[in-house]
Amino acid sequence: MKEVSVTLDPDMGSPQYSLTDGDIRLKQDVPIDLSGPGDVPNLLPYVLGCNVFTTGRHCWVVTVVGEDDWAVGVARSSVRRNGRRSRGVFSPTGGIWAIGKWEGGYAMFSSPKEPVPMNGEVLKRIRVSLNCDGKQVSFANADSGTVLAKFQAASFLGEPLHPIFWVEGDTKLSFPS
């Protein structure tokens, strides 16, 4: 498996985020377009990596700093980048395979979300592993090596894949070089 350095693409991310030298955080002073019903932003708030994967096995580590919600994973190139939030956007049916912290617990972002049991552990470093040819995405605690979740027989549809990231509140994601 080839370990890669993640590079963020400012053109493939929400303007709500500050992208600096290998980390992502939410900007506190950027107004959000609340044009949808129920104050739903019109821009899907996530960032894609510049890295493009079509074949082979790749992995990268993401460090989480903060206690607010976040997600890390893999997305097809055609993933929807704008419009109203709706169920299924941040899931395999929307072209995203991810895990993260959501509403106080850890979850596998599938339809429906599945809890990731942590036995009181707090995730600080996550290893994302992508096997393009085997159509698998797995996530492990990078410190303990414990496998947290695995998507088997993922439907990549032959599309190029990118790392994907999402943060809320004061949480920051960073990528060791």
Taking only the tens place, the pLDDT of each residue in 3-13 is 999 888 777 66
Between residues 59 and 120, which one has the greater pLDDT? 59
| C-alpha dihedral, 49 to 50 to 55 to 57, nearest 10° | -50
Least reliable range by pLDDT among 8-12, 136-140, 141-145, 158-162: 8-12
pLDDT(173) > 60: yes
Do residues 73 and 109 lie in contact, with contact meaning Cβ atoms separated by under 8 Å?
yes
Least reliable range by pLDDT among 24-28, 72-76, 116-120, 129-133: 24-28
Residue 113 CA to residue 103 CA, distance in Å, equals 11
HSE at residue 130, side-chain half, CA atoms within 13 A, is 29
Residue 2 CA to residue 129 CA, distance in Å, equals 9
- Residue spans of the domains in the chain: they are 2-174
Q: What is the mean pLDDT of residues 133-141?
A: 96
Least reliable range by pLDDT among 22-36, 57-71, 158-172: 22-36
**Residue 121: per-residue pLDDT:** 82
The token pair at 20 is: 């600096």
In degrees rounded to 5, what are phi and psi of residue 16? -70, -15
Pick one of 3.30.365.10, 3.90.550.10, 3.40.50.300, 2.60.120.920 as the CATH number of 2-174.
2.60.120.920
In degrees rounded to 5, what are phi and psi of residue 160? -65, 150
pLDDT(164) > 50: yes
Between residues 149 and 88, which one has the greater pLDDT? 149
The token pair at 107 is: 């979850």
Q: What is the mean pLDDT of residues 15-33?
A: 67
DSSP 8-state symbol, 83: S
pLDDT tens profile 95-112: 999 999 988 899 998 877
